[in-house]
Amino acid sequence: MPYDGFVMNSFINNSQFIVGNFLKNIYFKKNVLYFSFSKNDLKVSLNPNYSYLTFERRDIPQDTKKHYFVDFLRSRVRNSRIIKFEQIEFERTAKLVLEKNDEIGEKHVYEVYIDIMGKHSNVIIVENNKILDAYKRIKTRFRDIIPGETFILYTGSKVNPLKNLVDLYNISENFNGRVSEFIFKNIQGFSKVTAKEVLHRCGLEDDQFSVKYLKKIIDTIENLMYEFQKGKIYLYYENNKPYEISAFLLNHLELDYETFDEPDSAISKFFEWHEQKSYVFQQKHFLESIVEKNIEKNETILSKLNYEIEKNMRYEEFRKWGELLKAYFYIIDDSRKEVELEDWETGERITIPLDENLTPIENSNKYFKLYNRMKNKLKGLKKRKKEIENELNYLYQLWYSLDDAQDIKEIEEIKNEMVETGLIKEKKQKRKIKKSEPRKIIYNGYTILIGRNNKQNDELVKKSSDEDIWLHAHGMPGAHVVIKTGGNVVNEDTLLFAAQLAAGYSKGKNSSNVPVDYTKIKYVRKTKNLKPGMVLYSNYKTLYVDPRRLENV
């Protein structure tokens, strides 16, 4: 994992300023504990996907939750003084030693152990070697984490890379596995990624381990430890996004990196991005499932409407039958099941079904009633079909906006829109979320704006000038694009570029020769009955372009 024993060691070594400070309070929110000090907060993330330690600069959440273990911690260690903050060798276990006098003046020394081990992460409070309580009460084959049990520090049998590398010779005799496995399974602090760095620096392939590699591995690790003790943290980027974090250089990645003197800054930057990415993914999946469910429901309704419309399109046939029966009633015998009559307008012979219990005139009136009923019903069906088609157009536009959303702000704005339009049944958020800004680029001196969601698309239209140019992919979900003209005539190159962006931020982004409509803002209208992001426009022209996105400019 990214938060290996070396990163933790750098963090704790750089965090000794909390020793001697008093612990003001403890807070909890979504698998995260916050140990609050006078100037900053120790963040303990117990998220099974992203567990780590870092400091936050007085950023305690406003909506912290109650938790039985947090309440217990508060009762024991709030207002205690930090005596020691250390790591258990290079294992991913941190230890806080706290001292406090209780209400009758009796001194207590508490030890809080913090295991940063993915899904096995835990916080355990101990006094006099007895477990008082734990975030997770568990029983394992190694130890029981249950109140009242004797605390057993699980350290494993790995070698400390700063002290006991020579012990690897004994371990290597019975090892059967790959070289990288030998490193991260037998040496403290190493992960699979940092084990690969050892291989890279040794010039070894990840083949079956052999004792003949051991001296080269030990020499390389000793050099790495010299580099590690400089106290730097390296944050690696792939496509401008945080990819890996390490306490020494990872040359095998061949990626751009940023160097940090303060570990918490690098750790926070790395995990905040990944946590946001995880949150965005989860929220996108949740919101998309709602949109997809509504699309499926409306597609089913549309299918039924089309069937009913097709069935009721026969109303003119019934009118004709009624007129023919009325005109020729005198030649039609009663009690017949059908009659064949000539249409005087076309000369065609038409067979008309009859109700044998009705007279020809009564059959004629029956067909006139059917005609009127079906004609009126067809009007309602067509009106309803238009409403469903508009709803589907909106849902597909919403679906596209979700698919293209990249950060929390965009997701929250779309979620709020779904609450407002009734797609999600919950209260509107009381907490105001800072709105995201439209994508923006300056091209040939013109500002081009690209909406990120339906609400933003509406804002672009509302706040633009009449002479600004509006663009949108024809007949498909996509962003509204606006060229701010300043009253000037836009040259063809700028128009084509903006059209490419409109195609790139539409459902047709992976296609070619995408049709894009453009017109002046004064020809774009928003009526009251239109959903967010939906507009009517006229006086437009169409360009056919290949899509382009800002990251490819």
- Fill in the amino acid letter for 243: Y
**What's residue 1's pLDDT?**
56
**What's residue 433's pLDDT?**
61
Find the farthest-apart pair of alpha carbons in the chain and give their distance in angstroms, rounded. Answer: 118
**What's residue 39's pLDDT?**
84
Strand order in the sheet with 541-545: 439-443, 446-450, 481-484, 469-473, 514-520, 541-545
3-state secondary structure of 47: coil
Token pair belonging to 471: 């663009």
What's the length of the chain? 553
Q: Which fold has domain 165-261?
A: Helicase, Ruva Protein; domain 3 (1.10.8)
Question: What is the rounded CA–CA span in Å between residue 498 and residue 471?
Answer: 8
**What's residue 254's pLDDT?**
93
In a 13 Å sphere around the CA of 33, the CA atoms on its Cβ side amount to: 27
- Break the chain down into helix, strand, coil percent, rounded to 5: 40, 25, 35
Q: What are the boundaries of each domain within the chain?
A: 5-145, 165-261, 282-436, 439-552
**What's residue 337's pLDDT?**
87
Residue 68: CB partners within 8 Å, gap ≥ 6? none
Q: List b or e across 140-168, with b for residues whose CB sees 16 or more CB atoms inside 10 angstroms.
A: eeeeebeeeeebeeeeeebbbbbeebeeb
**What's residue 307's pLDDT?**
92
Question: What is the rounded CA–CA span in Å between residue 454 and residue 499?
Answer: 19
**What's residue 407's pLDDT?**
82
- How do the pLDDT tens digits run along the chain, 553 residues long? 579 999 999 999 999 999 999 999 999 988 899 999 988 899 999 998 889 999 987 666 666 678 899 999 999 999 999 999 999 999 999 999 999 998 888 999 999 999 999 899 999 999 999 999 999 999 887 789 999 999 988 777 899 999 889 889 988 888 899 999 999 999 999 999 999 999 999 999 999 999 999 999 999 999 999 999 999 999 999 988 999 999 999 999 999 999 999 999 999 999 998 888 888 888 889 999 999 999 999 999 999 999 999 888 888 888 888 888 888 888 888 778 888 898 888 888 988 999 888 988 988 999 999 889 888 989 999 999 999 999 999 999 999 999 888 888 888 899 999 998 899 987 655 555 667 889 999 999 999 999 999 989 999 999 999 999 999 999 999 999 999 999 999 999 999 999 999 999 999 999 999 999 999 999 999 888 888 999 999 999 999 999 999 988 7
Q: Does domain 5-145 have CATH number 2.30.310.10?
A: yes
Strand partners, 472: 517
Model confidence pLDDT, tens digit, residues 351-398: 899 988 898 898 899 999 988 988 898 999 999 999 999 999 999 999
Cα angle 238-13-31, degrees, rounded to a multiple of 5 = 65
**What's residue 431's pLDDT?**
52
